[in-house]
Amino acid sequence: MTPVVLLPLPIILPFFTAVLAFLFRRGAEGKWISVIGSALTLVAGIFLLADVLTNGPQAAQMGNWPAPFGITLVADTLSAIMVVITGITALAVSIYAVSDVTRNMEELGYHALFQVLIAGVVGAFLTGDLFNLYVWFEVMLISSFGLLVLGGKRVQLDAGIKYVTLNLISTILFLSGIGLLYGTTGTLNLADLHYAVQDADPGLITVIATMFMVGFGVKAAVFPLFFWLPASYHTPSFAVSAVFAGLLTKVGVYALMRMFTLVFTQDVGFTHTLLLWVAVLTMVTGVLGAAAQTDFRRILSFHIVSQIGYMVLGLALLTPLAVMGAVFYLVHHIVVKANLFLVAGVANRIAGGTEIEHIGGLYKGAPFLAFLFLIPAFSLAGFPPLSGFWAKYVLVKASLDLELWLVAFAALAVGLMTIYSMTKIWGRAFWKPHPNGTVPTLASLPSGERMALLLPIIGLAIITIIVGLFPEPFVQVATLAANELLDPTPYLTAVLGERP
């Protein structure tokens, strides 16, 4: 398939699925349409990754307007990896949703919103145009607003107001940044911007870079801009919070990685040092926040914040090893985090809540679920031989190579603190007997629903184990992605053609 077909395909498929799912929202077909659509998106993503790995970065000019005038879709290794991982998450969550999402939410258009969200996420990963990136952010944002408040429980409205308002502020900063950048350089094509910022006044570009950093920083939930995340991620249905936890903040991280390797590299001493301290503070504050919580999902929400710090750390160090670590971490984290939220959903179903003081006995009644919780939980904390170990190992090694002892110490200490709050969940929700004396079991779920809930969890856990046991091919691909980020010549050539 040519790039002009292959690149838009993972964006068009979810949109198409969304339309179909909306038409069939009153029937039982809606959820299956969503599952099939997600599977097709994943397949399209795999084809794209295979193509990028054999032929290098691919670009497609939409409407045949040559770059930098038209909108370009670009897939380098990082984008293609992200599309595949989005497909995996979408598939897992849409299978989970078969059982988790209520009839009422389906009729309100849950599946359509979910697929539009996926389209927005994939679009943000594939676009090579700054204003187009803004549009994809908005597509993603408006569907996430819908998903967050769908069902209309009071706690959701409360969370929704905070989520919506703070995200709108970040959007406006991003938009003003685009305006100023266009005014300064006269282009919006990311590849073209790479050259254009080199001729512009570096001081001015640094100011604009800071606006982008704050705008994307809110989306990525870095310190001190993360407050909307733990205020909202624990309120919607579990399928929704799993896909939010897996994908949404990571789009912010991706945007940071793209902009601060391809465009804003004129003053690394300022921007990336700032990012470094932001990263360290994000790791530490996130994990401290988690230690203070007693709700299953709120603990996990604060962990997201803390883990985002690791990814930003990799970007901030800007060595090949560190960026490779950030890419690896990004992929590992999406799988693990989505999985933990899915486990929380099952725990809620069989034990009747997510407040860990009020539930218990899961280890006794559902040892299989306990086992499935341990895999992503240990991976998140960085136990060998799971995927998180390699992700953390690479980042710590990268900071030691640069002799940033304090940073390496923080990264290791945060891993230890992650274990602390994971043992809190383990001790209270799994080991302690249930306060009302019952023993929650998986057998209490109807067998069809049990399948739909456990299948995605098992699948994601297997991915975690495979990445952990055989990291070599994944590290190779991540290295390739990192090299392309640090030396964007193939990306630039794919978009703009050969330049003298």
Partner 1 sequence: MELFIPLMVGAMVAAAVYLMLARNVLRFLFGLILISNAANLVIFASGGLTPEAPPLVALGETLPPEGVANALPQALVLTAIVIGFGLFAFALVLVYRGYQNLGTLYSDEMRLAEPEEHK
Could you give the C-alpha distances from 158 to 115, 138, 317, in angstroms and in order? 25, 21, 38
Could you give the C-alpha distances from 480 to 181, 317, 325, in angstroms and in order? 29, 17, 12
What H or E segment, with its residue span, contains residue 242? helix 238-243
CA distance 6 to 343: 34
Q: How many CA atoms lie less than 13 Å away from 394 in the CB half-sphere?
A: 32
Biggest CA–CA distance in the chain, Å, is: 75
Residues that bind partner 1 (CB under 8 A): 131, 134-135, 138, 141-142, 145-146, 149, 152, 154-155, 157-162, 164-165, 168-169, 171-172, 175-176, 178-180, 182-183, 186, 230-232, 234-235
The alpha-helical segments, DSSP class H, found in 384-428 are 387-401, 405-425
Query: Smaller CB distance to partner 1: residue 136 or 329?
Result: 136
Report DSSP letters for 257-277, one per residue: HHIIIII--TTHHHHHHHHHH
> Tokens at residue 477, please?
């691909």
Closest distance of CB 435 from partner 1, Å:
16
Closest distance of CB 428 from partner 1, Å:
16
Closest distance of CB 49 from partner 1, Å:
30
Query: Smaller CB distance to partner 1: residue 152 or 473?
Result: 152
Closest distance of CB 314 from partner 1, Å:
30
Query: Smaller CB distance to partner 1: residue 75 or 149?
Result: 149
Q: Which residues pair with 60 in a beta bridge?
A: 73
Query: Smaller CB distance to partner 1: residue 183 or 384?
Result: 183
> Tokens at residue 349, please?
């179903």
Give Cα 498 to chain centroid, integer Å: 33
Helix, coil or strand: residue 421: helix
Closest distance of CB 492 from partner 1, Å:
22
Query: Smaller CB distance to partner 1: residue 215 or 376?
Result: 215
What H or E segment, with its residue span, contains residue 448? helix 447-469
Other beta carbons within 10 angstroms of residue 183's beta carbon come to: 10
Closest distance of CB 46 from partner 1, Å:
32
Closest distance of CB 471 from partner 1, Å:
38
What H or E segment, with its residue span, contains residue 58? strand 58-61
- Asked if 82 and 254 count as a contact pair (C-beta separation under 8 A), the reply is yes
Closest distance of CB 164 from partner 1, Å:
5
Could you give the C-alpha distances from 47 to 5, 41, 260, in angstroms and in order? 11, 10, 28
Query: Smaller CB distance to partner 1: residue 232 or 261?
Result: 232
Closest distance of CB 168 from partner 1, Å:
6
Query: Smaller CB distance to partner 1: residue 149 or 366?
Result: 149
CA distance 21 to 143: 14
Query: Smaller CB distance to partner 1: residue 293 or 306?
Result: 293
Query: Smaller CB distance to partner 1: residue 297 or 332?
Result: 297
To the nearest 10°, the Cα dihedral for 413, 372, 244, 408?
20
